[in-house]
Amino acid sequence: MGILFGTDGIRGKANHYPMTCEIALQTGRAVGIFVKKKGYKAVIIGKDTRISGDMLEAAISSGVASTGVDAIQTGIIPTPGIAFLCSDIKEAGAGIVISASHNPFQDNGIKIFKYNGTKLSDEEEKHIETLILNNEDVPRGDVGKIIIISDGLQRYADFLLEKVPFKKLAKKLKIIIDCSNGSASKIGHMVFNKDLFEARFIYDSPNGTNINDNCGSQHIEQLRQKVVTEKVDLGIAFDGDADRLIAVDETGEEITGDRILAICAKHAKQNNKLKNNIIVSTIMSNIGLTEFLTNYGIHHIRADVGDRKVLEEMQKHGAIIGGEDSGHMIFLDNHTTGDGMLSALKLIDVILETGQSLSILASAMTVYPQVSMNISVDESRPDFMKIDLIANTIQNIKNKLGDKGRVLIRYSGTQPLLRVMVEGPDHKITEQYCHEICNIIEGNIYNKPAH
């Protein structure tokens, strides 16, 4: 990570550094310079439903136009929709998404895609960051146009339905879809349309401040309740920019990314469509996923956290299915990036082709208890493993778990948090160990009492 870029672009509280109009303007200029040097003439800009999106969109667009490159605004659109349009609009050398994903409305972010719909490499990120911070060599010649297109959502919806074509069903699948008051709110109705599904939508009325507000993939309590009481086949929850999803089966049980990966991997394997017999997930994936894939003779590769890291490993090993337990799924034979809408359609396709309920499909994978807790940190991010008491506590817990569990501790790349995850055979013991680690870290670094 650099000064500005975290694990998923630039992110922070809107109207505070680094999510200011000044940085947004300089980012637009930097991306404009980047694409102009590669011979492209335009940058596509999309956003989610946050109230700060308009302000940042105007600044980024002005920055792009100041380099003699056209800024093409799509309005509100899912993050993977911009990735698609990057490859669909040939004159575009990059795409910029203004979104903080699952964060509250007060935050915002900037994500950047290349001309082919993939995210920047580490080297490209560093180059653009240098251009932003130096703010030099800004072209003073031609001025680009700011263009608003109205068909971006429709083109993206058509792309999705072409990738997973459904025949008109004799009996429509009943679905409840939580749009998180985010960028799925409009396109959700276009994709999960009444010709194919009996779909009911909740949290699809964004007002600028209600994105992810007790709804969406991070807050599925209402969705779980409605799936059971309304007796539907499944529920689907997107996050604010619709690049991830969490499913709910007909019994109201949460089905996270690991089990969705397992379901799709098994189906692809049985239909001879799992290229190179590989699935990629992250170091956060449940032990149960590895067991499941091993039982079906599928090679499991773990990547660092972040869909970009998953994609890198997929490309390296020739895999076509990968993802994170948080709900980012990549189907590389269909799209270049994680896509919640596409993932939902893929999951529904398996349900329809097998004729099995989501609960039956998901039950094939055993989920081991996994407890995650967050510790608020400051900018110093100390190396806690250099403190003997902390290091010894963590090692003792690892020894107790043995090969029946694991401990993973890492700093978040998008928020000021230290994430502690413990996995084990029993939920009560796993939770106890996680508390023990958090308490020892907080007590010895931040002088907080044990909680």
Which positions are annotated as active-site residues?
A: 101
Q: Strands across the sheet with 417-423, in order? A: 370-376, 417-423, 406-411
Strands 9-13 and 5-6 come out as antiparallel
Report the relative pairing of strands 146-148 and 173-178 from DSSP bridges.
Answer: unpaired
Place of tokens 């807050």: 219
CA gap 107, 11 in Å, rounded: 7
- Check if the beta carbon of residue 407 is closer than 8 Å to that of residue 397: yes
Counting every residue written for the chain, the total comes to 451
Largest Cα separation within the chain, whole Å, is 66
Distance CA 55, CA 289 (A): 43
Task: Give residues with Cβ within 8 angstroms of 198, minimum separation 6.
Answer: 172, 173, 174, 175
Among 99, 86, 1, CA closest to 38 = 86
CA distance linking residue 326 with residue 412, whole number of Å: 14
Nearest partner of 328 among 256, 415, 222, 253, judged by Cα: 256
Secondary structure of the chain: what % helix, strand, coil (to 5)? 40, 20, 40
Tokens read off for 38 = 């590669």
Q: How many CB atoms lie within 10 A of CB 38?
A: 11
Cis peptide before 18 (omega within 30 of 0): yes
Beta-carbon neighbour count of residue 242 at 10 Å? 32
Full DSSP string of 222-245: HHHHHHHHTT-SEEEEE-TTSSBE
DSSP letter for 11, please.
E
